[in-house]
Amino acid sequence: MLPTISIGPLVLPTTGLVYILGAWLVLTVVERAAKFTGASVQPTYGVAFVGMLAGFIGARLLFVATHWSAYVDNPLSIIWPLSSGFSPAGGLLVGGVAALYYARWQRLPLGRTLDALLPGVIVGFMVVSLADFLGGPGYGQETTLLWGIDLFGIRRHPVQIYELLAGLVALAAWYFLARNRIRPGRAFLLGTAVYAAGRLLLDAFRANAPLTTGGFHIIQIISLVIMLICLVFLAFDTPPETAETAE
Amino acid sequence: MNRFARVIILLAAFLLGVAWILESRERVAGAEPVLESAPIAGYAAPDFTLQSTNGETVSLSDFRGTPLVLNFWATWCPPCRAEIPFFQSASQKYNGQVAILGVNDGERPDTVLDFVGDYGMTYPVLLDTGSAVSVRYRVTALPTTVFINADGVIAELFPGIINEAVLEDRIESLIRE
């Protein structure tokens, strides 16, 4: 774990640094993926940028709205500090809706746009895993395996490293289909299914995963649903000619 | 691949997924007992004993059964000074539900006493004169706030300045646990 980095007298939180660099990396990956898949580069980049910016604002606004009594006497604290105080649900909702509207406004084809965006999304999840590994509260279950990491005297599964590897496998699966540029949307579906399967598998090794009241891993349940939806579309989607025409 | 084969594959994926979720549940059903103490969420908060500015001897273990917020700070640290009113306000708002302790990192008692008086801090402020507790909690940046549940387990370590809303959000989470 490396929660902070010291540069001379300056102590910087690793998580924040990783997120800032991660935002740049996600946008760069989307831009390159758009070129690779033959999608319109600038509009696709715009979807990612608008989604991220709106998601950031939405996550903050929902948190502020649900804790308004703490902000009302000091409205400046709405904009500073920004190191905490975000609602993930607000970010997903506002970011998702903004990205969708921007994509519709730009009249982007659904399949090819999703193909171009997926590597950015997977890299985004990998950035979260890396930030969690360096400075976050997540850690794996105990293990005797050789590659376990020592955490305060106990050898544990490096579960966030596993997640990074799952992301790489999903990117490889995406690349496998995206390079052929046929049947838009299939690279997105395969990459998503592989990543979801990875998280379904790996969350079992997390020691402090969010659970339902019955003790089931919430991330596993969500991953299974997403994986099955993608597999259904992959198995029963329309022929390539129809798919292209529909867009 | 015909339609039947696709359905079989989907069904197999579904069943394998469900089986793995059930298997994972068994693993967590007897979740590891918290035995170790370490400055990380999910572990028991390391115990310590310090003198307060009032001259009382205070141990972390005295607060077992009550959610606790530890705020590591110093008088020379501007972000620490900025957030002290939030801790003061929270100590009054959640009085009896949560204990809030300030842990001054490595300063002379008279400096801290003057500051506590000037800022009107009424919650307990402990004197970590030799920074032993800060080292034990691996505090690398001031301020750092540690949220500890009623069982003495660390819920979150929060490096850096915290705003009032986040502080209240985390305290209410501790109370709900």
**What is the domain-level CATH number for residue B137?**
3.40.30.10
Query: What per-residue confidence (pLDDT) applies to A215?
Result: 85
Query: Is A70 in contact with B9 (Cβ distance < 8 A)?
Result: no
Per the structure, the count of domains in chain B is 1
Q: Contact at 8 Å (CB) between B14 and A232?
A: no
The 3-class secondary structure across A84-99, one letter per residue, is: CCCCHHHHHHHHHHHH
CA distance A153 to chain B (A): 9
Residues 6+ apart with CB under 8 A from A167: A122, A123, A125, A126, A129, A195, A198
Q: Residue B60 domain-assigned?
A: yes
Q: Any chain B CB within 8 A of the CB of A153?
A: yes
Q: Residue B2 domain-assigned?
A: no
pLDDT in tens, A29-50: 999 999 999 999 999 999 999 9
Interface residue of B1, B2, B6, B20 to substitute, partner A, most A CBs within 10 Å: B20
Helix, coil or strand: residue B58: strand
CA distance A76 to A94: 22
Query: Is B165 in contact with A224 (Cβ distance < 8 A)?
Result: no
pLDDT in tens, A140-167: 888 999 999 887 777 889 999 999 999 9
Nearest residue on chain A to B39, alpha-carbon basis: A152
DSSP, res A5: E
**Structure token digits, residue A77:** 């604290």
Q: Residue B39 domain-assigned?
A: no
Assess whether pLDDT exceeds 80 at residue A2: no
From the list A67, A152, A200, the residue facing B38 with the nearest CB is A152
CB-based contacts of A20-27 (< 8 A; 24+ apart in sequence): A21/A127, A22/A123, A22/A124, A22/A127, A22/A128, A22/A130, A22/A131, A23/A52, A25/A123, A25/A127, A26/A52, A26/A120, A26/A121, A26/A123, A26/A124, A26/A127, A27/A52, A27/A120
Q: Contact at 8 Å (CB) between B154 and B147?
A: yes
Residues 6+ apart with CB under 8 A from A237: A183, A185, A186, A189, A243
Print the domain residue range for B118: 49-176
pLDDT in tens, B19-58: 999 998 855 444 555 557 888 888 889 999 999 999 999 9
Nearest residue on chain A to B164, alpha-carbon basis: A70
% of chain A exceeding 70 in pLDDT:
93
Q: Residue B107 domain-assigned?
A: yes
**Complex ipTM more than 0.90, yes or no:** no
Q: Residue B159 domain-assigned?
A: yes
Q: Any chain B CB within 8 A of the CB of A63?
A: yes
From the list B23, B27, B159, the residue facing A13 with the nearest CB is B159
Q: A121, A245, A235, A128: which is closest to A188 by C-alpha?
A: A121
Query: Between A and B, how many CB-CB pairs are < 8 A?
Result: 118
Query: Is B21 in contact with A200 (Cβ distance < 8 A)?
Result: yes
Q: Residue B19 domain-assigned?
A: no
% of chain A exceeding 90 in pLDDT:
61
Choice between A82 and B49, residue whose per-residue pLDDT is larger: B49
B42: left (phi over 0), alpha (psi -120 to 50) or beta: left
End-to-end Cα separation, chain A, in angstroms: 46
Q: Residue B54 domain-assigned?
A: yes
Q: Residue B124 domain-assigned?
A: yes
CA distance A188 to A185: 5
A195: number of CA atoms within 13 Å, CB side? 23
From the list A11, A208, A231, the residue facing B141 with the nearest CB is A11
pLDDT in tens, A94-151: 999 999 999 999 999 999 999 999 999 999 999 999 998 887 667 888 899 999 988 7
